[in-house]
A and B are shown apart, each in its own frame.
Chain A
């Protein structure tokens, strides 16, 4: 049989979870990570990262809007997916997806963004024209009170929402890790560390994404990058990266030392089919290199330009590394037989519903959503609005 080595159960030849299921934890991870970065300023009063606060929230929303798409596209019967809301199976981790997703989208992210932008939305509903005016009027939800007292209440409620949002972000992504980690049939996935590793890698990828977006959008707007902000963001990324790497290594060392019945099979897999994506891309290029680079910025006094280049490189590599990690978990976990006697292969199609083109499209789509959100709700201070508010 083509693509099969050794003996696998005959129903294991086909891989059922494709590249779209690789994208799903990657995208939700970016959401959770971006939100955690936003919470640094709001809840933990890390003032230095304030320039990224709103951009982080909008990034989280843009990616969250796309998050269910890979899941729904992967289903054999996508139109039956609402059944997960109407008749969820109470013992299924996956059944909770709809509720966790809706909670995070509506009760946390949209609510917080609305509270934070309410003043601008009201002002824009008064100064805009045509269709935009109508959109902003709808977005005010009928509340046009932007007195100091009302904005103070917004701020207090927003703080509480962010506070609730932190465990919610952990829940959103920890739960994704649990979907894999709780499957005892698959030794590659079955690990109580899986949700923890997912959360920390999510934070790394989300922070890296917002850092890169902040640097690129600031450059595109012809503004000066706030180095105090970027240095602080990179510092948090470095520390969280260390925790993430430690967890992943702990998992690896535990597997190697314990060497249970699956070890020989998994070890072979890592040294053959997953060698490039796991050892080369995930561990070396995607983890060790950015960690060393970020470590340098912490211990050596580097010039601003050097630091910028390091942040761009390490952020990009971290994103590639986390994507590779998702690939190795999802695809890697299906390449070996549960008989531990053989292996199959994954052949990614190009233009099918679960093919490469759709995957690329789903990766670009959040950036288009982000562009639209940034146009609608600019995350940077708007002088004309300030003038409108003060009546100058």
Chain B
């Protein structure tokens, strides 16, 4: 192919721009997304959860979660009386296919508790990572650089909530990313989108117009294991004292 001087003058700058992108890696997916303008969390409204398992299924499909491991799961608590330390808890296959029907006449309180990474602001998992492969992003999401993770599982041991696991084939730590690939494009998480009752709501704590602020002001909200002082950002409405 003969290239004229005119074509060369056009092609060279184009090649330079293309080369710059090659060097820089994958181009930014969401060019208008400013990390510094967000601080993500999640509101989980326990009285609204019906234990359908839609969230677990949606998460597994969206994030290609391996069988037997969970980025999110749902527990069903059964508390009969004042023995808060001894609730009966089940989560068959992470609650993915729902729960067995409660027999008529069974006493006590039944309720569902969706669980996921709490995206802690003072996360013990990121603290212990020997190479900093897991980190808190500037917009408050705890993420893992899986190309950097050694697979030592120290972070799995350090998480008080059991939210992490070592991926059985990738051999690196894995967990909920708060669907980072979605929320940076202005979408909500897969679990929130799939929830039929609005029991899960993505919350942007830096956005003054986010309904989370009004909700937190007017409801009794708690985080899991507050004694761990992890700065958890999964806020639970109606959290019973028996929940672990």
| A residues neighboring B (CB under 8 Å) | 7-14, 16-17, 71, 74-77, 80-81, 83-84, 87-89, 91-95, 97, 179, 183-186, 261, 264, 333-334, 337-341
Query: How far, in angstroms, from A74 to B150 measured CA to CA in the complex?
Result: 10
Chain B residues lying within 8 Å of A340, measured Cβ to Cβ, are 244
B106 at interface, CB cutoff 8 A: no
Known contacts: A77-B171, A91-B127, A92-B127. The answer to whether A10 contacts B160 by CB under 8 A is no
Whether the Cβ atoms of B172 and A185 lie closer than 8 Å is: no
Whether the Cβ atoms of A83 and B131 lie closer than 8 Å is: yes
A-B contact list, 26 entries, CB within 8 Å? A7-B75, A8-B162, A10-B73, A10-B93, A11-B164, A14-B166, A17-B157, A76-B150, A76-B153, A77-B149, A77-B171, A80-B149, A80-B150, A81-B150, A84-B131, A87-B131, A88-B131, A89-B131, A183-B124, A183-B128, A185-B158, A261-B85, A264-B85, A338-B160, A338-B161, A339-B244
Chain B residues lying within 8 Å of A183, measured Cβ to Cβ, are 124, 128, 157-158
Query: How far, in angstroms, from A92 to B154 measured CA to CA in the complex?
Result: 10
Which B-chain residue is minimally distant from A85 (CB atoms)?
A: B131
B132 at interface, CB cutoff 8 A: yes
Query: How far, in angstroms, from A134 to B244 measured CA to CA in the complex?
Result: 65
Query: How far, in angstroms, from A373 to B88 measured CA to CA in the complex?
Result: 58
Whether the Cβ atoms of A11 and B157 lie closer than 8 Å is: no
Which A-chain residue is minimally distant from B170 (CB atoms)?
A: A76
Whether the Cβ atoms of A185 and B157 lie closer than 8 Å is: yes
Chain B residues lying within 8 Å of A179, measured Cβ to Cβ, are 154
Secondary structure at the A interface, as helix, strand, loop or mixed, is loop
Whether the Cβ atoms of A10 and B153 lie closer than 8 Å is: no
Secondary structure at the B interface, as helix, strand, loop or mixed, is loop
Whether the Cβ atoms of A341 and B87 lie closer than 8 Å is: yes
B69 at interface, CB cutoff 8 A: yes
Query: How far, in angstroms, from A16 to B159 measured CA to CA in the complex?
Result: 13
Among the listed A77, A88, A93, which residue makes an inter-chain contact with B151, where contact means beta carbons less than 8 Å apart?
A77
Query: How far, in angstroms, from A67 to B75 measured CA to CA in the complex?
Result: 41
Query: How far, in angstroms, from A17 to B157 measured CA to CA in the complex?
Result: 9
Query: How far, in angstroms, from A169 to B129 measured CA to CA in the complex?
Result: 24
Min CB distance, A233 to chain B, in Å? 36
Of the candidates B93, B130, B156, the one having the most CB atoms from chain A within 10 angstroms of its own CB is B130
Chain A residues lying within 8 Å of B158, measured Cβ to Cβ, are 183, 185
Chain B residues lying within 8 Å of A334, measured Cβ to Cβ, are 157
Query: How far, in angstroms, from A39 to B162 measured CA to CA in the complex?
Result: 44
Query: How far, in angstroms, from A76 to B144 measured CA to CA in the complex?
Result: 14
Known contacts: A7-B91, A264-B85. The answer to whether A94 contacts B156 by CB under 8 A is no
B90 at interface, CB cutoff 8 A: yes
Query: How far, in angstroms, from A50 to B129 measured CA to CA in the complex?
Result: 43
Chain B residues lying within 8 Å of A95, measured Cβ to Cβ, are 130-131
B70 at interface, CB cutoff 8 A: yes
For window 118-162 of B, CB contacts with A under 8 Å fall at 124, 126-132, 148-154, 156-162
Whether the Cβ atoms of B127 and A339 lie closer than 8 Å is: no
Query: How far, in angstroms, from A76 to B168 measured CA to CA in the complex?
Result: 9
Known contacts: A84-B131, A89-B132, A94-B130. The answer to whether A10 contacts B94 by CB under 8 A is yes
Which B-chain residue is minimally distant from A80 (CB atoms)?
A: B150
Whether the Cβ atoms of A7 and B150 lie closer than 8 Å is: no
B208 at interface, CB cutoff 8 A: no
B13 at interface, CB cutoff 8 A: no
Among the listed A7, A81, A83, A186, which residue makes an inter-chain contact with B89, where contact means beta carbons less than 8 Å apart?
A7
Whether the Cβ atoms of B162 and A12 lie closer than 8 Å is: yes
B165 at interface, CB cutoff 8 A: yes
Of the candidates B73, B162, B164, the one having the most CB atoms from chain A within 10 angstroms of its own CB is B162
Of the candidates A11, A264, A334, the one having the most CB atoms from chain B within 10 angstroms of its own CB is A11
B228 at interface, CB cutoff 8 A: yes
Whether the Cβ atoms of A339 and B131 lie closer than 8 Å is: no
Among the listed B88, B129, B156, B244, which residue makes an inter-chain contact with A92, where contact means beta carbons less than 8 Å apart?
B129
Interface mask (B228-244 → A, CB under 8 Å = 1, otherwise 0): 10000000000000001
Chain A residues lying within 8 Å of B148, measured Cβ to Cβ, are 80, 83
Query: How far, in angstroms, from A97 to B131 measured CA to CA in the complex?
Result: 12
Instruction: Identify 7 new A-B residue pairs, CB closer than 8 A, beyond the known A11-B165, A87-B132.
Output: A8-B162, A75-B150, A184-B160, A338-B160, A339-B89, A341-B87, A341-B244
Whether the Cβ atoms of B150 and A84 lie closer than 8 Å is: yes
Known contacts: A92-B129, A184-B228. The answer to whether A9 contacts B150 by CB under 8 A is no
Whether the Cβ atoms of A97 and B171 lie closer than 8 Å is: no
B58 at interface, CB cutoff 8 A: no
Min CB distance, B88 to chain A, in Å? 8
Whether the Cβ atoms of B130 and A89 lie closer than 8 Å is: yes
Min CB distance, A149 to chain B, in Å? 46
Chain A residues lying within 8 Å of B200, measured Cβ to Cβ, are none
Query: How far, in angstroms, from A61 to B51 measured CA to CA in the complex?
Result: 57
Whether the Cβ atoms of A16 and B128 lie closer than 8 Å is: no
Chain B residues lying within 8 Å of A13, measured Cβ to Cβ, are 68
Chain A residues lying within 8 Å of B89, measured Cβ to Cβ, are 7, 339, 341
Among the listed A16, A91, A333, which residue makes an inter-chain contact with B153, where contact means beta carbons less than 8 Å apart?
A16
Known contacts: A7-B89, A10-B91, A17-B157. The answer to whether A76 contacts B152 by CB under 8 A is yes
Which B-chain residue is minimally distant from A337 (CB atoms)?
A: B162
Chain B residues lying within 8 Å of A80, measured Cβ to Cβ, are 131, 148-151
Known contacts: A10-B70, A11-B164, A338-B162. The answer to whether A75 contacts B152 by CB under 8 A is yes
